[in-house]
Chain A
C-alpha cells in the first residue's frame, strides 16, 4: 500500500510552521504585540488541550479552568523556592495528577451531568483555595522579579506547540479512534473492544497537563495571584467557545477558533467588554444552531459532512 501522509499530519506541520513564524513577533514588534501574542498562544494551548478530551470523546468539560488555576497556584506558591524550569513542569504534573485522581469517579457520569459536575468541581476547588489562602491571612499575593515579557512569550509558544503535538498524537493513535467511537456510541465502542474507562481517563489526564503549565505562565505574567481570577469560569467558557467556533474534531479547529475569538477579544475587551460578551454570545448561538461542525468542518473539508444532531 502506498503511504500517504494523513491530512491531520499535514495540518500539524502547518500549525507548527505558523507557531515557529509567530516566534518572530517579540523580535520585530513591540511589547503590545508580544502581549497580544501571549494571549493568542494561551488560547491555542488551552483549546487544543480541551479538544483532546471534549471534542474527541464528547465528554464536554465546563471546568477546565480548574487545571489552569491549580497550575497557577503551584507556580505562585513555590515562587522564590523553585526555579520556573522546575515549577512549570510541576504545575503541569499537578494538574495531570489531579485529573487522574478525580477522573475515575467524574468520568462515570455522561452528558449534561458530566458538564455540570466539572463546572461544580472547578468552583469547589476555587473556594477551597480561597479558604486556604484566607486561613493564612492572604487575599492575594504579589510576585516580584518575574521573567520578562519575551521569555513568557516563548514559554507560551512552547506550550502552544506542545499542546498541538499532544492533540495531534491523540488523533493519530489508537487513543483517538477509541475516543471518537466513545463519542459516537459508548456501549458499542466497549462491545467492540475499546477499553472505555481507561481511554477516557487517559484523555482527561492528557487534556489537563498543559493547561496547568499555562496557568503558571499566566500567573507570572499577571505578577499577582488572586484565586477568584485564576479560577474564573470565563477561562473554561472561552475554551469551549473557541473549539465550537473553530470546529474541535479537526486539529486546525482550536487554532482557528482561538485566533478568531482571541482577536475579537483583543479588539473589544478593553474598550467595550459588554459588546464583546454580546458578540460572543451571538456567535455561539449561531454556530451551535447553524454551523455545529465549526469553521473547519464547514469550510475546510473537501465534501461537506452531514449536519449532526
Chain B
C-alpha cells in the first residue's frame, strides 16, 4: 500500500431498505491515523455506514476499499480479520461472561494477533486498564453500568487488533463527567495505539473537540465535510442542524 493512499475509501456507497435510501451515493476517504467524526440527525445513515463497512449489511451499490482492497461481500469476521472493528450503539456485551473474558475473546479472534489464550488474556488485561475498567475485570459484563458497558465495547473493538476502529455513540447516555473521562480515554488510546477512528456522535460539541475532520450526513447523503470549525460554520449544516432561522 502506498503511503499517500487513504486507509479507507468509500466510493458512491448506497443502501436501500425496501424503497428507503438509508444511504445514497456517499463517498468518504479516511487517512491513516485521523479521528474522523460523523455527524447527522437520527436517520441520517450514520449507523448504516458503519454496518456496511463492518460487513453486518451488504451495500446496494458502491465500493469500499480498505488498504486499497475491496471488502464488499466479505463476512464481518473476515473484515475484522483484516483490521476493521466497530462498537454497537446499543451495547452488545457477552453479558454472562466476565469483562476479562469479553475482551480476551476479541483478542483471540479479531485480526488474529494472539494464538495463545495466555497472550490474548495479557493483551486484554492491558486494554481493560486503558479504558478504566481494571476494577471490574472479573465482573460479569451484564453487571456493568451503561458507562461501563460502553467502555467494554471500546475495549473489545481495540482488542481485536484493528487499525480502523468505528465508535458508534460511545458517549450517548453518559453524564457530563463521564463524557469528559471517555474523551480522555479515546484520545489516549488513539495516540498510544496509532489507530484510525471513525466516530459517530450525537453530542456535537464533544465530537467537534475530538475530531480532526468531520463528515455530515443528512437523510442518507453527505452534505458537508471538512475541519470541525469550517463544517460548523457551513450554511448547509447551520440550516439542517439549527433550522432556517439560524
Measured CB to CB, the residues of A under 8 A from B are 1, 3, 172, 174, 177-178, 180-181, 183-185, 187-196, 305-306, 308
Contacts and interface: CB of A to CB of B under 8 A. Distances in A.
B93 A185 contact: yes
A174 B108 contact: yes
Contacts of A189: 94, 105
Interface residues of B, number: 35
Interface string B60-82: 00000000000000011100110
14 contacts: A172-B117, A177-B104, A180-B105, A181-B97, A184-B93, A188-B88, A190-B76, A191-B86, A192-B85, A192-B105, A192-B160, A194-B77, A306-B140, A306-B143
B96 A184 contact: yes
Contact of A181 (B105, B117, B140): B105
Contacts of B75: 190, 195
Interface centre among A3, A188, A193, A195, by most B CB within 10 Å? A193
Interface of B: 54-56, 75-77, 80-81, 85-86, 88, 92-97, 101, 104-106, 108-112, 117-118, 122, 140, 142-143, 156-157, 160
Contacts of B160: 192-193
A194 B95 contact: no
B136 to A, nearest CB: 13
A178 B109 contact: yes
A102 B45 CA distance: 38
Given A1-B118, A196-B77, A305-B140, A191 B85 contact: yes
Contact of B156 (A172, A174, A192): A192
B105 A177 contact: yes
Interface centre among A178, A183, A184, A191, by most B CB within 10 Å? A191
Contacts of A185: 92-95
Contacts of B106: 192-193
Top 3 closest pairs, chain A to chain B, by CB: A184-B94, A193-B109, A188-B92
B76 A191 contact: yes
Nearest to B114: A174
Given A191-B86, A192-B156, A193-B77, A174 B94 contact: no
A193 B96 contact: no
